[in-house]
Each structure stands twice: as structure tokens, then as C-alpha cells.
Amino acid sequence: MPLIALRQLLDSAAAGGYGVGAFNVNNMEQIQAIMEAARETQSPVIVQASRGARTYTNDRFLFHLMAAAAELYPEIPVVLHQDHGNSPETCISAIELGFTSVMMDGSLLEDGKTPADFEHNVRVTREVVDYAHARGVSVEGELGTLGGIEDGVGSGEVHLTDPDQAVEFVARTGIDALAVAIGTSHGAYKFSRPPDGEVLSMNLIEEIHSRLPDTHLVMHGSSSVPKDLVDAINEYGGEMQPTWGVPIEEIQQGIRHGVRKINVDTDLRLAMTGAIRKVLTETPDEFDPRSYLKPAREAMQGVVAERMRQFGQAWHAPELEPKPLREMQALYA
């Protein structure tokens, strides 16, 4: 199955009332884990790469790994998404490489750290939308900023999304999906206690969805940081401090109010790290990378498959008839 545009997948998710996990990748084992989980659950999927991942893997390696995934799993609809593009140039390079969706994160300046003003965000996002839609590629924008810093991205400050600005932002940019800031954070250390309404503003999602019912919403920083994954790391020599992530129940509430894309990265890192630590602790004479990368891949697959079921995307892959980008191009025009 060819790679498809994000807009087609999120339109289908909206019609079916489910959310779709967007899972970050850096190497072959992670792509394999995601695709095996998608086959196991018959789920459409969003595979996304940050700027750091593109540098680490190399663009050509990454794209050919994704081309192999599309070839080996022809029954699975896949979106290849640029996560947190810091400039129009970054997004354009992803589109030219073959990505079918890009995120222009104009909430921050090009350094990926300094909060930008509203007009800057509108200008750079609109530039990317014009370029992408002319090629059938979808665009995600962001309004507001998340806490935490991950993969070099983040101001470390939380600025919640303003619903009035959200309406204006969507109208002026023409984006396909809007990432909203509701108090979530990048990284493993999101909350120092179980999050409640004081730190996680789920009511904002409901308000924005009521005012933008046809705009697909996105939750970033939405790993749940399960205690068992943290405990597995610490059991085998890790020193992670107590931390809390976004409860699955809160994500499911968001899905009921227009959230269609849910970004998950930290949970995948935790699962792989715990599995690797276990092998190297129990068999300290081991030196074959396959001996620890295989269980790491299996651990990540288990987390991805669980999220696919929890977000509701499981068993929906057969429903999608993939539209080629040239057809999406005509629809955008």
C-alpha cells in the first residue's frame, strides 16, 4: 500500500470516532515494531520522525526503511510524518524526500526553543500549507507551547492554547490538524503527581472542538509513562525518579472531543530500554546486538499494539481505500 496523506487518515478516524497513535522512530527495529503491531491489530498508523531522528538515521536510510515497510505490509495504511518541523525549509525538505505529512511548529522560532508570536506562527505555517497542499501533502500546525524538552525541541514553558486564537489560526493557515497545548509535556518527567484538572486542561479540548468541529485536534506529549515500564528499567540498574504521564482515560476523553492524532514516544523508549537492560544484566557476557534488540523490539511492539487498541484504531485498516497524493492534490485545489 502506498504511503497516504494524514488528512485522509484523520478524516476516516473522525468518521469512525477513533484516534490514531503517531509513533516516533529512529531506526529499523522501531519501524519493525510499529508495523508488526499494526498488522497484529489491523490498524492504520502514523510513523513520525523528528529532525533529530532524520539526522541520526540519515534521510535516505529513513525513507527507504519506510518504503520497505509499505512494501512488506501492503494491507496497512501508513502516514509518514515530519514531527516538529522548525522552519518551512525543514518541512519542504521532508516533502521532497517523500513524507506525506509535515508539522510546521511555528509556535517556536527556528531554534526550536524560543516562543514565537502569533503572526510569525501564521506566516510560516501558511507558507508550508501552500507548498504542501499543492503536492497533496497534509500539514499539522501548533498553537501554544508544551512543557518539557525532548529531542532538542521545547521552550520548557507551558502556554495553553487560546480558543479565540485557535479559530483565527485555522482560518488563516488552512491547516489539516491543530496541535493544542493543554498542559502536557515532552519527555518522561511530565508530572510530579497524578495529573488532574489543575495541570491537565481537558476542558480546553472540548471548547476548541466545539468551535472548530471540522478541525482534527492533536495531543502532543501524550505518553502515559506506565509505572511498570519505569520499574523494569530501575530493576535492572536504572535510576529513574517517580513520574506520571497522561492517563489513557484522559486521552480517550480527548478522542471523544475531536482528538484524532496522539503523539507517543517516551513510552516506546521506556519499553525498549527496560528490555535491553534486562538482557545485559542477566547475561553480562552477551555481546550480540540481536540478543537485546530483538526483545527490545518485541517490548515496543507490545506497547504500540496496546495503544492502538486503547485509541480505537484497531481493526480499521481494511476500511481505508488509499488515495494517491495526486488525488489529494486535486482535492486540496
How far apart are the C-alpha atoms of 246 and 225, rounded to whole Å? 7
9: pLDDT strictly greater than 70: yes
Please give the domain boundaries of the chain with CATH numbers for all domains. 6-223+244-265+300-332 (3.20.20.70)
With pLDDT > 90 as the criterion, what percentage of the chain qualifies?
A: 84
194: pLDDT strictly greater than 60: yes
Angle at which helices 202-211 and 248-255 cross, to 10° = 10
Looking at per-residue confidence, does 3 or 156 come out higher?
A: 3
- Of 11, 59, 83, 288, catalytic: 83
The pTM is what? 0.94
For residues 16-39, average pLDDT: 98
C-alpha cell at 10: 484523520
How far apart are the C-alpha atoms of 119 and 116, rounded to whole Å? 8
By CB neighbour count within 10 A (0-12 exposed, 13-18 middle, 19+ buried), where does 112 fall? buried
b (16+ CB within 10 A) / e for 288-318: eeeebbebbbbbbbbbbbbbbebbbbbebbe
Range with the poorest average pLDDT among 121-125, 132-136, 144-148? 144-148
- Per-residue HEC secondary structure of 132-157 comes to HHCCCCEEEEEECECECCECCECCCC
Over the stretch 56-107, which tens digit does the pLDDT of each residue have?
A: 999 999 999 999 999 999 999 999 999 999 999 999 999 999 999 999 999 9
Over the stretch 234-260, which tens digit does the pLDDT of each residue have?
A: 999 999 998 888 999 999 999 999 999
Compute the mean pLDDT over every residue in the chain, rounded to the nearest whole number.
93
Range with the poorest average pLDDT among 42-51, 130-139, 182-191? 182-191
How far apart are the C-alpha atoms of 6 and 12, rounded to whole Å? 10
Over the stretch 261-320, which tens digit does the pLDDT of each residue have?
A: 999 999 999 999 999 999 999 999 999 999 999 999 999 999 999 999 999 999 999 999
Looking at per-residue confidence, does 260 or 191 come out higher?
A: 260
Over the stretch 10-22, which tens digit does the pLDDT of each residue have?
A: 999 999 999 999 9
152: pLDDT strictly greater than 60: no
C-alpha cell at 237: 540498574
What single DSSP character describes residue 324? P
Over the stretch 47-63, which tens digit does the pLDDT of each residue have?
A: 999 999 999 999 999 99
> Any catalytic annotation for residue 176?
no
